[in-house]
Chain A
Amino acid sequence: MPYCVHCGVETDEKSCPLCATPIIDPNAKEDDDNERRFPYPDTIDELYRKVDMKYARRLALIVLAVPVLVVLIVNLLSTGSISWSLYVIGALICLYTWFLVPVFYRFKRPYAYLFIGFSSLILYLYVIARMNDGGGWYLGLALPIIIVCFIVVQLILLAMRRLEWQPLERAAAVTSLIAISLIAIDWICDAFTGKVYLNWSIYALLPLMALAGVFLLLERKKELKEEIRKRLFF
């Protein structure tokens, strides 16, 4: 009958289950170890790594539903129709799609999150435009800018995920895409005012394109790259 010298309990295990002190039985034979039977088998039932996402999703929806219901009721009681509450509801939907959808839903590729996020923004601005008779600024300014931003962000994401590219090549692609998007935004703004005259975007385009060129050059000139790395080492 082997005992733990610290806890004073009897145990058949090699070390005490309570304090992990080795159990030494001087009279034990080598065969005893093979004959020792564990009180539980080796098989392990399925174990879980996943967070309970279903519950989290449902809870988040309920938490969001509370302010939605409150503003709807207050809006209906105070004005007799659904008006200003749509601002709050739209903002909550946008918050949900931007911050909670990426946490709660797992898509294979991240482009879907962007699509959902930008779509909700387009719809939200559309609602605001409809409520304020702002079809002009929506179609002429907001919608094209959002679409340009959506395309550029998707392309940036695509460039950053091209792992076969070198990091500096990816940086050059991102810088160029930002420069192009600024030109597009400037052009849209000009078109909205009625006169296309690219102005500030040119000043942003030139240094950004130069920076992209430097990145590409550095990637090609290995010695220069190494020299800069050496000097900027920290």
Chain B
Amino acid sequence: MDRRSYPQWIALDNAAKIYPAARSNSWTAVFRLSVNLKEKINPEILQIALDNTLERIPFFGYRIRRGFFWYYMDSQKRKPQIQEDVQNPCSRMLRRSEGHFLMRLRYYEKRIALEVFHSLTDGMGALTFLMTLVAEYVRLTTGERIESGGMVLDIDEEPKKEEWEDSFSVYAREGRRARKEEKAYHPKGTPLFPGHLGLISGIVDATSLKKLANSYGAGINIFLCAVLLDAIRSVQNKEKSSRRKKVPAKISIPQNLRRYYPSKSLRNFSSYFNVSLNSNYGEYSFDDIIKLVQHTAGIEGMEPMVNARMSTNVAAENNRFLRLVPLFIKAPVLKLMYILHGERYFTTAISNLGAVNIPSGLRPYIERMDLILGAPRSNTFSCGIISCNNVTVISFSRTVHECEVEKAFFRKLVKLGLHVKIESNRRE
């Protein structure tokens, strides 16, 4: 496809619209995917690999601009420059000094890290970009051409129209679901300095984890969600206030909608559902929690349920009155709505990108991968999980000093017989 026939601007998709309006200095709506290679990173070659990957997936080099009614993504001649990594990842995006890009690529020792503003894409889109970039980097450093497949796109191919499609509007139907939910429990803590993110990553063997999860009749995702709910519950039980003990602990689990629809879009195409554990009803055993997560995921994972939730959001976006309100009025109202309701209905988000599907030729070069979710706005922590080359990394990011849930989570895994190695970004 000719570069000129590639769209010069793209309207934000349904999920992307809230982020530019609601973001702030402390809530950046940025997430990060990183890959640890086996050799130290060469910055010059990495920059060339980035430039080449942007030729294949050009909209990753776009910037966000304000229209009269909505934000939109606009092409620009400048190209993003790679940066050295920092101690506090997922900081504010769209800076003038960085050229207003919606992504940044960082490197440190053997690690390549892609930080993405959520308006640009979701985890799967970012993963595809990063793995394509890593394959190109490996080709440039070793001369070995990695065959495309899985999350790696053919770098020589032209960009395809379906890759920048807004799949929400394509697959949404008429049926809608009410969004009313119960307020969730939110652990409190001493805030870290604004802009700083506390990170704790647990590295576990993927095969052992799978075996352990299967012994409870669950998959890795269900099992880890249950461990997290159990950890939150144990922290909640220590609360002094009886009122706070009664509020349900809820976790938000993202769903990759590409599993349901034949979408090839590299932009946002994911939804979520919440699992609620109400301690008010009595004590739940760990097996009960697994069943709770499993059955909720089973119901919420049915296509009609998924579509109805997605269609509700699309219908709200298509509301004529809302569309006609100018952005300078709409943006603060959207922000206020997010502050009041955005994270009110879940205690934390747990995002599992699963085992990354990469070509066998790329495997020998990769050590492990990490997924870090940026600072939540009002919640205190979030959790990102990713598996690659038989290594699963569970990363908690938090905005407070205390890490009680993380402690309970990893202690539970150790108690269940799993070997866990812990890393953090703190300085002693």
Contact = CB atoms under 8 A, between A and B. Distances in A.
A194 interface: no
Indicate the size class of the contact surface on chain A: 20 to 34
A227 interface: no
A80 interface: no
Given A15-B428, A17-B424, A43 B87 contact: yes
Interface string A24-41: 000000000000011111
Interface in A39-72: 39-50, 52, 55, 58-59, 62
A49 B410 contact: no
Nearest to B424: A17
Interface in A5-19: 7-19
Contacts of B89: 40, 45
Interface string B163-204: 000000000000000000000000000000111100111100
A79 B84 CA distance: 66
A46 B91 contact: yes
Contacts of B195: 45-48
B424 A13 contact: yes
B45 interface: no
Given A48-B26, A62-B332, A9 B193 contact: no
A136 to B, nearest CB: 42
Given A8-B414, A13-B428, A17-B403, A39 B332 contact: no
Contacts of A11: 421-423
B329 A62 contact: yes
Interface string A155-169: 000000000000000
Given A10-B422, A18-B422, A49-B194, A62 B25 contact: no
Contacts of A17: 200, 403, 422-424, 426
Contact of B108 (A12, A18, A41, A46): A41
B88 interface: yes
A58 B332 CA distance: 7
Interface centre among B415, B424, B425 (most CB of A within 10 A): B424
A39 B425 contact: yes
Contacts of A10: 419-422
A24 to B, nearest CB: 14
Interface string A84-102: 0000000000000000000
| Most-contacted residue by chain A among B86, B200, B336 (CB, 10 A) | B86
A48 B108 contact: no
Nearest to A49: B194
Contact of A9 (B91, B199, B403, B410): B410
Interface residues of B, number: 45
B235 to A, nearest CB: 13
A18 B401 CA distance: 11
Contacts of A38: 425, 427
A40 B108 contact: yes
A9 B335 contact: no
A40 B428 contact: no
B185 to A, nearest CB: 21
A44 B332 contact: no
B295 interface: no
A47 B196 contact: yes
A47 B193 contact: yes
A12 B424 CA distance: 10
Interface string B199-231: 111100000000000000000000000000000
B211 to A, nearest CB: 19
B346 to A, nearest CB: 23
A45 B427 CA distance: 15
A18 B406 contact: yes
A59 B339 CA distance: 13
A55 B86 contact: no
Contacts of B421: 9-11
A46 B193 CA distance: 11
B87 A40 contact: yes
Contacts of A52: 24-25
Nearest to B328: A58
Contacts of B108: 40-41
Contacts of B415: 8
B92 interface: yes
Interface string B374-413: 0000000000000000000000000000010011001100
Interface in B77-114: 84-89, 91-92, 108-109
A233 B147 CA distance: 86
A41 B84 contact: yes
Nearest to B421: A10
Nearest to A6: B411
Nearest to A18: B407
Interface string A176-201: 00000000000000000000000000
A55 B414 contact: no
Contacts of B24: 52, 55
A18 B91 contact: no
B140 interface: no
Contacts of B85: 40-41, 43
A163 to B, nearest CB: 32
Contact of A18 (B25, B328, B403): B403
Contacts of A7: 407, 410-411, 414, 422
Given A17-B403, A59-B336, A9 B422 contact: yes
A45 B86 contact: yes
B333 interface: yes
Contact of A47 (B88, B199, B406): B88
A42 B336 CA distance: 35
A12 B193 CA distance: 25
Given A7-B414, A10-B419, A10-B422, A47 B86 contact: no
8 contacts: A10-B422, A18-B200, A18-B407, A37-B109, A39-B201, A41-B86, A45-B86, A59-B336
Given A38-B425, A52-B24, 9 more contacts: A9-B420, A9-B422, A10-B420, A18-B200, A18-B403, A44-B88, A47-B193, A50-B25, A58-B331
